[in-house]
Each structure stands twice: as C-alpha cells, then as structure tokens.
Amino acid sequence: MKKHQGQLIYSTKDEYGPLEVIDIHQRMRSLHFGNGTSQSAMLLYNPIPLLHKYTQALLTPLCWLDAQRVLILGMGAGSISKFLHYHFKEIKLDVVELRKSVIDIAHEYFSLPPQDERFTLYNMSAETFIEQASSSQKYDLIIIDLFLTSHKKTDITIDISDHYKTLLQLLTENGYLSINLIGSKSQNYGGFNELKTLFGSHLYHINIENQNTILVAGKQAIGKPDGNFDFGYYEKKHQLPWRHYYNQLKNIDH
C-alpha cells in the first residue's frame, strides 16, 4: 500500500494514535505517527547514521563534552540511541520512551540494539522517570525530544517545564540539556522562561532550517571542542557535520 511517498510495510495503533512504518524506494525507512512527518528515519543498507538534521544537532554538546552518562527523554525509533551506542562505547545510556508500541517497532524495524550494560530502556513517561530519578543519578547530557501527534494530525511539543528544576539537579557540574522544539521561535515554547530563569546566559539555540530549534542549556558557558575532538576525523567517522552545528550555536540573548 502506498503512503507518505513510500510503501507502507507495517501499521498499528495504540492509545496515543496510529503508528506507521514506511519504506521509500527500498532505500530508506521512516516512522510516522499518523501524518506525513517522519519521526525517525534510517538507511536500510546502513542503519547507524543520523538522517534528520535535528537529531544531528541535538548531539552538538559532545563536541566539547566528555560524556560518560547520557539520558534520552523520547526515543522514537531510536536513531540517537543507536548512534551513541555504536559510536561512543564509553557512554552509558538511559533511554525513556512512553509508548510500548514504539519500542517494539524500534527493535523490529529500526535495528535498535538489545539492552546491555551500556543501554537501559525505560517504558514510561518522561515525567514519571524524572519524578522517580535519584538525586545521585547524574548525567553529563540530557536529550529531550518529546512529541505527540494530535487528533488533527499536527505535531505537538510535550512541555515538561515543571520538571526542568529537577533536570538541572540531575546534571553533572559540566552537564547540558539539549532540547528539540518544533519551529524557529524558541521564545514561543512554554518552558522558555523557566529555562532562562534556571540557566541564565548559558542558554543557546541552533536554527534548523526554520523547521526545528535546538536549545542547549548548561550550568556553564559552552566550551571549546575537546582537545581530542578532531572535527575532520569525526565528521568522516560519524557521517555528521559536527563543525557546522557547533558554529551555528548562538547565545539566546544575541
């Protein structure tokens, strides 16, 4: 069956809405939540590279951050989880996904690796995970990519601004939040003022072609790339334009 400019290979529905897996030209596979927006995507012949630019930009803090532990709130089909698990062997991942159907699809159709000593998957809401997290549980990077699709088939950012204070406490002293928002106006985001209050001048943004905005918030100013981070080497190894996103980072006050 033809759908979303490709071939529908699997569909199901849970309490939050439809889920569709689409193959395009026998080359790329994407996950949809009932509309034309590709929530996650991968190449069928190489499932590791990050295809969506916003997923690439969410990892920008790794240019300067020697991360040992990363929390991902909102897994989708697991593009970022899979990428980090494959390329960053030193990182321990805690990944939270609300929808059990999405987790099952990620394993079955998107090559999500099984859980191991470096990868723990939690099937619960981001809010529940944050509320239950121990204060001794510290992360170098917390990635927030939380969306649902409304009954009108529009994508909605899930606002967890009431939990940003707790997330700040879950960061290490050198830690950062990396947040994906729909659209180009970060000031329209419900949690913007709370982030400004908590992080002050250490709040930055990356505009992704006026379609997404990545907010990067840290306990301190963004750093220079780690001495071991060779842009040319890692851009080739990871198939990701690290330098481009690092140079795109702008302080929110400018």
pLDDT digits (tens, 9 = 90+) for 68-124: 999 999 999 999 999 999 999 999 999 999 999 999 999 999 999 999 999 999 999
> Has residue 52 been placed in a domain?
yes
Distances (CA, A) of 246 to 62, 108, 185: 10, 34, 19
Residue 154 has pLDDT above 80, yes or no: no
Residue entry with tokens 């306990």: 219
Q: According to the model, what pLDDT value does residue 103 have?
A: 97
Lowest mean pLDDT among 19-23, 128-132, 166-170, 224-228: 224-228
Average pLDDT, the chain: 91
Q: Kind and range of the H or E element at 32?
A: strand 28-32
Q: According to the model, what pLDDT value does residue 205 have?
A: 95
pTM comes to 0.94
User: 99: phi > 0 → left, psi -120 to 50 → alpha, else beta; which?
Assistant: beta
> Has residue 178 been placed in a domain?
yes
> Has residue 16 been placed in a domain?
no
Query: How much of the chain exceeds pLDDT 90, in percent?
Result: 75
Q: According to the model, what pLDDT value does residue 1 have?
A: 82
Q: According to the model, what pLDDT value does residue 150 have?
A: 52
Sorted by sequence, the CB contacts under 8 Å of residue 187 that are 6+ apart come out as none
Residue 139: closest CA among 173, 165, 115: 173
Query: How much of the chain exceeds pLDDT 70, in percent?
Result: 96
Residue 214 has pLDDT above 90, yes or no: yes
Residue 17: closest CA among 148, 127, 155: 148
Domain, as residue range, for 119: 48-251
> Has residue 11 been placed in a domain?
no
> Has residue 6 been placed in a domain?
no
Angstrom distance (rounded) from CA 4 to CA 66: 39
> Has residue 198 been placed in a domain?
yes
Mean pLDDT of the 209-213 span: 89
* 157: CATH: 3.40.50.150
Residue 196: closest CA among 168, 233, 173, 222: 168
Task: State the number of CA atoms in the 13 A half-sphere of 207 facing the CB.
Answer: 9
CB atoms within 10 A of CB 136: 6
> Has residue 8 been placed in a domain?
no
Q: According to the model, what pLDDT value does residue 153 have?
A: 59
Q: How many domains does the chain have?
A: 1
Q: According to the model, what pLDDT value does residue 115 have?
A: 96
pLDDT classification of 244: cutoffs 50, 70, 90: very high
Bridge partners for 142 per DSSP: 71, 177
